[in-house]
Amino acid sequence: MRTLSEHTEQFLNYIIHERQYSPRTADTYRKSLLKFLASLPGNAGIDAFSTANVRAFVWKLRTEENMAVSSIGLHLACLKSFGHYLVRSRVLDVNPADSVPIPKRPKRLVPFLSQKDLQESSFPEIENPTLPQTRARALLELLYGSGLRVSEAASLTWAQIDFSAGLVRVIGKGNKERIVPVTRELRPWLERYKNKLAEAGKTPSGTGPVFPGEKGDACDVRTLRRDIVALLRSLGWEGKASPHVLRHSFATHLLENGADIMSVKEMLGHSSLATTQVYTHVSAERLRESFKKTHPRA
């Protein structure tokens, strides 16, 4: 009879070779499963994959390791997936991890810049901007102007932008396509960026990436992230600096200015309305803070 460790290796081979999970995702599963196995006696059998042991594992992560709820949820999701595999393989009749609830994350307000922070006058004057500085400014118009994820911007080609219609065709999560309007500021910044690319010997082409890397393929997401962090710091932003802050700001400002939530959901590419509704909480919280600061009876 196989040990639980051997079943784990079979599962990892399954997700890599049959399900074709990415190496990064497979490595996440491996680390989670090895961590669970380390909490059990050596050479544990399949019986050790029990609801009681999964609960004990989660409890240990929370109390002894003081692990963040999001990280615990990731470990538990890996165990649930492993359990489903064992049921499909007829090793088990039921998935022991199914009855262990994933801890709920505490509700947190998402960080975002104010509309004033992102006014054109807020950006510092740069006499002779570098290619990364110009790239960051064009990138901002896609992240804040159209609500793109940085990974979506990284994979964007020139052919996906239709300036005559004022639209960009975005390939999002799950290879889902959506059409999003672009700002009037995008075109001039992309033209300046094109000139910088040409100066660097990287002539833009219709099917080529908007943000090419050193070898001409799509620019690394980490490079684009560094561009945006530097740009946000130049604005004096002291909060969390990341490309996603601009996406948060995009959604928040649309709702603050009267956009309907379903339209915002479509532009963000959310599959669930609940994901978009966090921005209504942001706007409501901001109103409450303003009320407390200004109303004499607050």
Please give the chain's pLDDT, 298 residues, in tens.
789 999 999 999 999 999 998 888 999 999 999 999 999 988 889 999 999 999 999 999 989 998 888 889 999 999 999 999 999 999 999 999 999 998 876 655 668 888 888 988 888 888 889 999 999 999 999 999 999 999 999 999 999 999 999 999 999 888 899 999 999 999 999 999 999 999 988 877 778 999 999 888 899 999 999 999 999 999 888 888 899 999 999 998 998 888 888 888 999 998 888 778 777 766 666 656 655 776 566 5
Q: What is the pLDDT of residue 106?
A: 61
* Third-level CATH fold of 120-294: hpI Integrase; Chain A (1.10.443)
Q: Choosing from 247, 248, 253, 265, which is the catalytic residue?
A: 247
The CATH architecture one would assign to domain 4-88 is Orthogonal Bundle (1.10)
Nearest to 103 by CA among 129, 134, 71: 71
Half-sphere exposure of 142 (CA within 13 A, CB side): 31
Q: What is the pLDDT of residue 127?
A: 84
Q: Choosing from 173, 176, 222, 281, which is the catalytic residue?
A: 173
Q: What is the pLDDT of residue 121?
A: 82
DSSP state of 46: G
Q: Choosing from 196, 225, 248, 270, which is the catalytic residue?
A: 270
Please report, for residues 140, 155, 174, the alpha-carbon distance to residue 120 in angstroms, rounded to integers and kept in the order given.
Answer: 12, 26, 34
295 is catalytic: no
Domain ranges of the chain: 4-88, 120-294
Q: What is the 3-state secondary structure (H, E, C) of 80-141?
A: HHHHHHHHHCCCCCCCCCCCCCCCCCCCCCCCCCCCCCCCHHHCCCCCCCCHHHHHHHHHHH
Q: Choosing from 169, 187, 244, 286, which is the catalytic residue?
A: 244
24 is catalytic: no
279 is catalytic: yes
Q: Choosing from 7, 75, 135, 149, which is the catalytic residue?
A: 149
- Is 265 within 8 Å of 273 (Cβ atoms)? yes
Q: What is the pLDDT of residue 182?
A: 94
Burial track 32-60 (b if 16+ CB lie within 10 A, e otherwise): bbebbbeebeeebebebbeeebbbebbee
- Is 154 within 8 Å of 221 (Cβ atoms)? yes
Q: What is the pLDDT of residue 285?
A: 63
270 is catalytic: yes
3, β-bridge pairs: 45
Q: What is the pLDDT of residue 214?
A: 86
247 is catalytic: yes
